[in-house]
Structure 1
Amino acid sequence: MAFSTQDNDEVLSEINVTPLVDVMLVLLVVFIVTAPLLTNAIPINLPKTDSVAPVEQKDPLVVSIDDQGKVFINKDEVEAGLLEFNLQAAKAKDPEVRVQLQADNGVNYGEVARAMASIERAGITKLSVITAK
């Protein structure tokens, strides 16, 4: 190992790797100790059950607005002013009715907002807004 003296004004340009090796060895020991702990699972005997069929869900009511502003309920054209009345009738038939709202990209947002307000006034709380990726 080279020591500098008062007579020599040279800068020591060697990198001391001993601290780096010390840190790496400590990290290696930490990983060696913790790796087996991460792979061990707690053995549990889970209860056995019979397979259960999923709950049958009815198809949602689809409210669509095309690029000309026409409103459709499940592909049946409806006058925009009667949308709320038709939705109230659907809610009377099925209190758990779900509604999907889809609107053309070129539709004015005001039309979409009016449709959403009609859905809310009809008392429907389950609303999905359908968009494209």
Structure 2
Amino acid sequence: MAMSVGGSSDETPMSDINTTPLVDVMLVLLIIFLIAVPVVIQTVKLELPKVPFEPTQTKPENVALSVKGGPDGCEVFWNMTKVNHEELLERGVAKLKGVVDKLGANLKPDDIPEVHIRGDVNTPYRCIGGTVYTMQMAGFAKVGFISEPPAGSVKTLDR
């Protein structure tokens, strides 16, 4: 902390700003973010196919699915929760019903959430195809695949 002692005979107030509290708050925020970010970013461990792609616009209401083939057949994860075929269909229908109920008559085609599927490179097609079919049965019109591009092959969006 800075402190001014003597030296000035006139009674003018000191106009220097004390930045110590600001620095303290910024350090606390930095520590909070360093702790919180790894907790927020959790994904199912997959090896994605290496193919060129165009960047997608992600919205918070989109459904993120991860699919991989396991020893017991297909494994589908809704975010980080493992679901079976029936639960996937129920969750999909509930998600769309919630969006329709929320927006009602103001619903536009762009308001309907999309399904983004991350499929492990070694997953059998029947697992991914079944997931796509289930989500289409739930009412989702847009189903996309998330892949990992080879180095240097990312295209940019033209706007």
TM value normalised by structure 2 = 0.45
In the alignment, is residue 79 of structure 1 matched against residue 95 of structure 2?
A: no
In the alignment, is residue 62 of structure 1 matched against residue 64 of structure 2?
A: yes
State the 4+ residue runs in structure 1 displaced beyond 2 angstroms. Answer: none
Q: Mind listing any 5+ residue stretches in structure 2 that lack a counterpart?
A: 1-58, 101-111, 150-159
- What is the letter of the counterpart of residue 67 of structure 2? I
Deviation of 1:85 after TM superposition, in Å, equals 1.5
Three-state SS of the structure 1 residue aligned to 2:97 is helix
Deviation of 1:80 after TM superposition, in Å, equals 2.7
What's the RMSD between the two structures over aligned residues? 1.9
Superposed CA offset, 1:21-62 (max 9, x none): xxxxxxxxxxxxxxxxxxxxxxxxxxxxxxxxxxxx434210
Q: CA 1:108/1:130 → structure 2, altered by over 3 Å: closer, same or farther?
A: same
Report sequence identity in percent: 18
- What is the letter of the counterpart of residue 114 of structure 2? R
Radius of gyration: which is bigger?
Answer: 1
Superposed CA offset, 1:76-133 (max 9, x none): 1111332112111111112412210111111100111000000111110122111121
Q: Mind listing any 5+ residue stretches in structure 1 that lack a counterpart?
A: 1-56
Aligned residues: 78
TM value normalised by structure 1 = 0.53
